[in-house]
Amino acid sequence: MLDNKTILITGGTGSFGKAFTSYLLEHYHPQKIIIYSRDEYKQFLMANQYKGQKEKLRFFIGDVRDKDRLYRAFDGVDYVVHAAALKQVPACEYNPIEAIRTNINGAMNIIDAALDCGVKKVVALSTDKAVNPINLYGGTKLVSDKLFVSANAYAGKKEISFSVVRYGNVAGSRGSVIPFFRNIVANGGTELPITDYRMTRFWISLKQGVELVIKALKESKGGETFISKIPSFKITDLAQAILPGCKMPEVGIREGEKLHEIMVTQEDSLSTYEYEKHFIIYPHMEWWNPNKIQPGGKQIAQGFEYSSASNTQWLSVEDLQERLKRVDTK
């Protein structure tokens, strides 16, 4: 499906963008991969990293806030993976207008450009923070998700679909807890601060995130939200896995931080189907055709909630230690 196609990745110099690019080059034969991002230095580093594949890569300086630039970049593009976002929770809390301009206005620009430039599919990356949001980042991503789902109603007879992939913090990603803890240990620290002893999170690797996006590109009909079935862990167990026997002072929840990650709400259960390795939330809208539901799944029970606190799969300290060996935070 992705062979001989042109794929554009917004925010393509980030950890996801680089992992997705590597996956495409390893498993497919794309005609071109366009890396669309704002940071010229990161593009320079990425170009050097993929020097042997330079005929496949095109680096495009641009911002999702700039609609004209997106129209130019989307010319001849088959598939768009939208990974660009302002995603640091505290930064969004203190710079709300900037978060809205990137995460909401940027999503609108992506949709308009895709509709007008002949793009076939758009997959937008989302976050658990868009579910019952309590911070501005989550609020902007909730709106963004709604925009991408509803964009399918604007497609008319055009052969284009928009879908969403939702997951939490990728293990080891920039700004997440693993590099934070590892940095403390590297600097001789003997205590790892815990914001709340009850806190839980889902564990998803970069590879799993990439594979879920690939699945969405292959299977989406338009309007679906794809969610991986992944294990949970306690933050206190993660601290013990990184620095066994350490003290763990409880320091209080930060602004905008949640106790648990939720991927499927009880309200979503009305239109959610469970498959072997993932869930799909289907649109609950008049324009949605139920015949587009993927075979092989079953509708979940009404009132079901997919939360890191009530998950059926859990990682022990020993499990976490094994997985941490494969997490590169350098």
pTM, rounded to two decimals: 0.94
**Cα–Cα dist 80/216, whole Å:** 12
pLDDT at 153: 94
In this prediction, the residues of the chain whose per-residue pLDDT falls under 70 are 330
Residue among 5, 49, 58 nearest 28 (CA)? 5
What pLDDT was estimated at residue 105? Answer: 98
Taking only the tens place, the pLDDT of each residue in 102-148 is 999 999 999 999 999 999 999 999 999 999 999 999 999 999 999 99
What's the confidence (pLDDT) of residue 294? 93
Residue 269 is predicted with a pLDDT of: 94
* Terminal Cα-to-Cα distance of the chain (whole angstroms): 33
Domain ranges for the chain, please list them.
6-236+257-324
Which pLDDT score is estimated for 286?
Answer: 86
Please report how the helices 235-242 and 177-186 are oriented relative to each other, as an axis angle in degrees rounded to 10: 30
Per-residue pLDDT of 225-259, as tens digits, reads 999 999 999 999 999 999 999 999 999 988 788 99
Active site residues: 129
Give the pLDDT score at 168. Answer: 83
Domain 6-236+257-324 superfamily per CATH:
NAD(P)-binding Rossmann-like Domain (3.40.50.720)
Q: Helices 206-219 and 15-27, interaxial angle, to 10°? A: 60
Residues in the chain: 330
The predicted structure's pLDDT at residue 36: 98
Distance CA 197, CA 236 (A): 6
**According to the model, what pLDDT value does residue 302 have?**
93
